[in-house]
Chains A and B, each alone.
Chain A
Amino acid sequence: MHLAVLKEEVEAKTAAAKTTAVKTAAAPAQAGAMVRLLTCGSVDDGKSTLIGRLLWDAAGVTEDQRAAIALASHNRAFNGEKIDFSLLLDGLQAEREQGITIDIAWRYFETADRRFVIIDSPGHEQYTRNMATGASHADVAILLVDARHGAKRQTRRHAAICNLVGIKKVMLAVNKMDAVNWSEARFREIDIDFRSIAGSFNFAQVVTIPVAALTGDNVARRSLHMPWYGGPTLLDYLEAVDPEAARVDVPFRMPVQLVIRASDDFRGYAGTVTSGRIVVGDRIVDARSGLGATLRRIATMDGDLATAAKGDAVTLVLDTDVDISRGAVLSEVARRPVNADVIEARLVWLSETPFDPEAGYLLRTATDLTPVTSMSISALVDFETLAAEPAHACAVNDIADCRILLGRATALDLFRDLPLTGNFVLVSAIDGATVAGGVITWAQSGAPAVGDNVLVLDRALLARGLCADLGDSPADTAEFHRRAQEVALLLRSVGVPVLIEI
């Protein structure tokens, strides 16, 4: 979106919403009432200071907190007599001692008609996994760069992670404009460079704003030093930005969290609707088993509902007793998820322990946990060029493309269609750690059709030829399974139904 358009959006909305804290009991009531905002950028670009400044100027800092911060700032003799705004966010002792941000901090404030959730993320490469955690919860990202340095490798990495987790709106805050003499030329240079970076991604809106966090220029208050800049201040932007482009006609999905049983024969499927809408009387199916039923009740403690839509935590009661448990995805009949046992995905590796093809992993999707039979890396994103380069290994903070074969089929969507049934985390089968977070880019159902033409890959068939060179060692057994899966995959990709029985 161009600045002129955004400016109109800003002017229309700020007329109604001045930057004072709410004084009445009325809560925000319309759509877009909550905006979740990520701040990220490289070390020392001043993220915590920027958000601290925003909270200090706009709302959300109480008097005792102000006094405590003023005192702590004085103790650290930071920046002469100035307030160290970063102390508002760096809540861990190690962070305060080292003057860096280690983990994400969550802060909340509200203006007249919206609730802001600010997720401040660390800039150090070492803590990228915490940044990825923060990014996955955000609707909008503020990427910070130091006006003296412009976009760095870490800026590109952060932009790539924002893109991966599905953020569509990005604002580049060019900070420390005071250090470059409020130079318009420098700002334009960084703006052009960043737009070329952003062009590699799927962002729907990119906005660039020149700011100085320490002095508050263009944060909550328009800068007098940069008359050449006619766009919104950071707060203007935040009050106007639309957190989510409303999509109409999205297929219904509800992953089942648990089955609720109570006296008088009550049996309901509890879950949160992740997309679309459902009405009592609609037909729904369990994508995994293919079993169908009619929706009889949408039960809640506040009474039954006629309809449930995205975001509602409900309990669905069906007209027939179907065998559905946690992990199932209830769907509309027409547009179902893929019942997939092979997927391709892009992921960000979060664990200090690198990817190991021999290690045991589990795929955690919306509510299902599926064993991974085999997994391979095909490419890594190069943070200089942002291109995916062929690779077979991946380690902490890498963004990689991979292929995963599952031990059994599970109901999935593509992330670009339905993010909440198209994302996953990869879990270590050994210690339960979350080792990667990813999005599904391709999924295929390998489930054989019931009929006579199913090819059964059994042990004898494989041992005769393809696997004749393999013995009984664990390594050979693993290789045996890998070859079986690969053959099945190749055959299925040309439409031959295959069943593996080894």
Chain B
Amino acid sequence: MTALTSHLKLLEAESIHIFREAAAQFRAPVLLYSIGKDSTVLLHLARKAFWPAKLPFPLLHVDTTWKFRDMIAFRDRTVRAFGLDLIVHTNHEGLARNINPFDHPPSIYTDVMKTVALRQALDAGGFDAAFGGARRDEEASRAKERVFSFRAAGHRWEPRRQRPEMWQLLNGRLGKGETVRVFPLSNWTEGDVWRYIALEKLDVVPLYFAAERPVVMRYGQMIVVDDERMRLEPGERPEMRKVRFRTLGCWPLTAAIDSDASDIDAVVEETLAAKVSERAGRLIDHDQAGAMEMKKREGYF
């Protein structure tokens, strides 16, 4: 047994409990795998919950086609290493209309390539429950969400009508047309995720560790140029800078931070000492006031 400290051990046991309750109660669950650190922890906990059996559900990755190349390589390595059943879905209609993060505002791009894509994939698979790696410490509307987060028909979140959730009892009985998002990491913080990755020696996408990377400044934030699709403004030239990511999404919309943290211990230390919140690096969340809540009402995550 690994030497988990007591509060991480409590969180781990709680997450395993949630995974098992969902697997026992829902007909067709799926795990939303987005390749980042939270998904890494989520997947690890799922494997623990059902060990020695294989995961009783597939993984789903919504690929916007704008993920960092390192993320896709990491995803494919992970799937092979653990013998996982992975579904990759892209909104091909959006792709055909060339919806992209350079020509369209983040709100439109996210809606088409992430929210709509997710709804398409969930409906196509007939899934009644989707595990997500969201944490309540990420953002104010997430802080209000239940572990079993019920969605009305069309995957809408109705924050004023959340189902009571008492004690350890998770009632997964669905009403007509309802589906559920399940959040096993609800009570984890960003610091917990990193401490757990360190303690359990989990492999994560290398982008989380500091390295020299080509950077341009956009909207006051550092954007790492990941492929030839980057549109440079006149006179703009990528500069090499030692940076890393706190959060990973689509590369043109995810800002890097200056950092020397090139190994897991340094990342843990930097995270626990951080003075700004994690989502400050997510450009999509700043587009409008209450942006996350709006996205969730429309079926995002």
Residues in chain A within 8 A of chain B (CB atoms) = 21-25, 27-31, 33-34, 62-65, 89-94, 96, 102-108, 110, 115, 117, 129-130, 132-133, 136-137, 165, 257-258, 260-262, 266, 270-272, 274, 299-303, 305, 311-313, 315, 326, 350, 362, 364-367, 369, 419-420, 423-425, 427, 431-434, 437
A133 in contact with B164 (CB, 8 Å): yes
A137 in contact with B167 (CB, 8 Å): yes
Answer whether A102 and B53 are a contact pair too, CB < 8 Å, given A62-B276, A434-B171.
Answer: no
C-alpha gap A133/B175 in the complex (Å): 20
Report A-chain residues with C-beta under 8 Å of the C-beta of B175: 431-433
Q: Which of A28, A104, A106, A420 contacts B168 (CB 8 A)?
A: A420
A434 in contact with B164 (CB, 8 Å): yes
Interface-located stretch among B16-24, B61-69, B98-106: B16-24
B52 in contact with A262 (CB, 8 Å): yes
Does any Cβ of A come within 8 Å of B93's Cβ? no
Does any Cβ of A come within 8 Å of B273's Cβ? yes
Answer whether A30 and B6 are a contact pair too, CB < 8 Å, given A420-B167, A434-B164.
Answer: yes
Report B-chain residues with C-beta under 8 Å of the C-beta of A300: 1, 48, 51
Please name the residue on chain B nearest to A302 by beta carbon. Answer: B1
C-alpha gap A433/B172 in the complex (Å): 9
A434 in contact with B17 (CB, 8 Å): no
B172-183 vs A, Cβ < 8 Å mask (1 yes, 0 no): 011110100000
A431 in contact with B164 (CB, 8 Å): no
Nearest 7 pairs of A and B residues by beta carbon: A91-B140, A432-B173, A313-B16, A27-B5, A301-B51, A437-B166, A431-B175
A-B contact pairs, 25 of them (CB 8 A): A28-B6, A29-B6, A31-B6, A33-B6, A33-B7, A62-B276, A64-B277, A91-B143, A103-B160, A108-B187, A115-B7, A133-B146, A260-B51, A260-B52, A262-B54, A270-B50, A300-B48, A301-B48, A305-B1, A313-B17, A362-B173, A432-B171, A432-B175, A434-B165, A434-B171
Answer whether A107 and B16 are a contact pair too, CB < 8 Å, given A27-B8, A132-B164, A432-B174.
Answer: no
B144 in contact with A425 (CB, 8 Å): no
Answer whether A25 and B268 are a contact pair too, CB < 8 Å, given A91-B143, A129-B164, A312-B13.
Answer: yes
Q: Given A270-B49, A423-B169, A424-B169, 11 other A-B contacts at CB below 8 A?
A: A21-B272, A24-B269, A25-B195, A93-B290, A262-B53, A274-B168, A302-B2, A315-B51, A365-B169, A366-B169, A437-B164
Q: Which of B54, B136, B275, B276 contacts A108 (CB 8 A)?
A: B136
Report A-chain residues with C-beta under 8 Å of the C-beta of B162: 103, 130
Report A-chain residues with C-beta under 8 Å of the C-beta of B268: 25
C-alpha gap A108/B159 in the complex (Å): 21
Report B-chain residues with C-beta under 8 Å of the C-beta of A366: 168-169
B27-49 vs A, Cβ < 8 Å mask (1 yes, 0 no): 00000000000000000000111
Does any Cβ of A come within 8 Å of B259's Cβ? no
A350 in contact with B137 (CB, 8 Å): no
C-alpha gap A45/B188 in the complex (Å): 29
B23 in contact with A258 (CB, 8 Å): yes
Please name the residue on chain A nearest to B135 by beta carbon. Answer: A108
Number of A-B contacts (CB under 8 A): 199
C-alpha gap A272/B13 in the complex (Å): 8
B198-221 vs A, Cβ < 8 Å mask (1 yes, 0 no): 100000000000000000000000
Does any Cβ of A come within 8 Å of B226's Cβ? no
C-alpha gap A94/B289 in the complex (Å): 12
Please name the residue on chain A nearest to B276 by beta carbon. Answer: A64
C-alpha gap A133/B161 in the complex (Å): 13
Report A-chain residues with C-beta under 8 Å of the C-beta of B298: none
B10 in contact with A311 (CB, 8 Å): yes
B269 in contact with A63 (CB, 8 Å): no
A261 in contact with B53 (CB, 8 Å): yes
Report B-chain residues with C-beta under 8 Å of the C-beta of A103: 144, 159-160, 162
C-alpha gap A431/B191 in the complex (Å): 39
Report A-chain residues with C-beta under 8 Å of the C-beta of B293: 91-93
Report A-chain residues with C-beta under 8 Å of the C-beta of B139: 91
Task: Give chain B nearest CB distance to A134 CB in angstroms.
Answer: 9
Task: Give chain B nearest CB distance to A386 CB in angstroms.
Answer: 22
Report B-chain residues with C-beta under 8 Å of the C-beta of A420: 167-168
Q: Which of A25, A106, A258, A367 contacts B143 (CB 8 A)?
A: A106
Does any Cβ of A come within 8 Å of B95's Cβ? no
Does any Cβ of A come within 8 Å of B76's Cβ? no
Please name the residue on chain B nearest to A439 by beta carbon. Answer: B167
Task: Give chain B nearest CB distance to A280 CB in angstroms.
Answer: 14
Q: Which of A27, A132, A260, A301 contacts B47 (CB 8 A)?
A: A301
C-alpha gap A262/B10 in the complex (Å): 26
Please name the residue on chain A nearest to B264 by beta carbon. Answer: A25
Q: Which of A23, A28, A106, A260 contacts B187 (CB 8 A)?
A: A106
C-alpha gap A260/B50 in the complex (Å): 7
B171 in contact with A427 (CB, 8 Å): yes
Does any Cβ of A come within 8 Å of B163's Cβ? yes
Does any Cβ of A come within 8 Å of B280's Cβ? yes
C-alpha gap A437/B47 in the complex (Å): 32
Report A-chain residues with C-beta under 8 Å of the C-beta of B81: none
Please name the residue on chain B nearest to A268 by beta carbon. Answer: B52
Report B-chain residues with C-beta under 8 Å of the C-beta of A93: 289-290, 293
Report A-chain residues with C-beta under 8 Å of the C-beta of B289: 93
A25 in contact with B17 (CB, 8 Å): no
Task: Give chain B nearest CB distance to A179 CB in angstroms.
Answer: 28
Please name the residue on chain B nearest to A431 by beta carbon. Answer: B175
Q: Which of A65, A136, A257, A266 contacts B24 (CB 8 A)?
A: A257
Q: Which of B9, B20, B191, B195 contacts A258 (CB 8 A)?
A: B20
C-alpha gap A63/B6 in the complex (Å): 29
Answer whether A117 and B187 are a contact pair too, CB < 8 Å, given A23-B273, A27-B195.
Answer: yes
Does any Cβ of A come within 8 Å of B85's Cβ? no
Please name the residue on chain B nearest to A30 by beta carbon. Answer: B6
C-alpha gap A424/B186 in the complex (Å): 22
Report A-chain residues with C-beta under 8 Å of the C-beta of B16: 272, 313
B281-295 vs A, Cβ < 8 Å mask (1 yes, 0 no): 000000001100100
B7 in contact with A425 (CB, 8 Å): no
Please name the residue on chain B nearest to A303 by beta carbon. Answer: B1
B98-138 vs A, Cβ < 8 Å mask (1 yes, 0 no): 00000000000000000000000000000000000000110
Please name the residue on chain A nearest to B194 by beta carbon. Answer: A25
Please name the residue on chain B nearest to A101 by beta carbon. Answer: B144
Task: Give chain A nearest CB distance to B177 CB in angstroms.
Answer: 10
B166 in contact with A24 (CB, 8 Å): no
C-alpha gap A316/B111 in the complex (Å): 45
Report B-chain residues with C-beta under 8 Å of the C-beta of A108: 136-137, 187, 189
Please name the residue on chain B nearest to A424 by beta carbon. Answer: B169
Answer whether A299 and B52 are a contact pair too, CB < 8 Å, given A64-B277, A91-B140.
Answer: yes
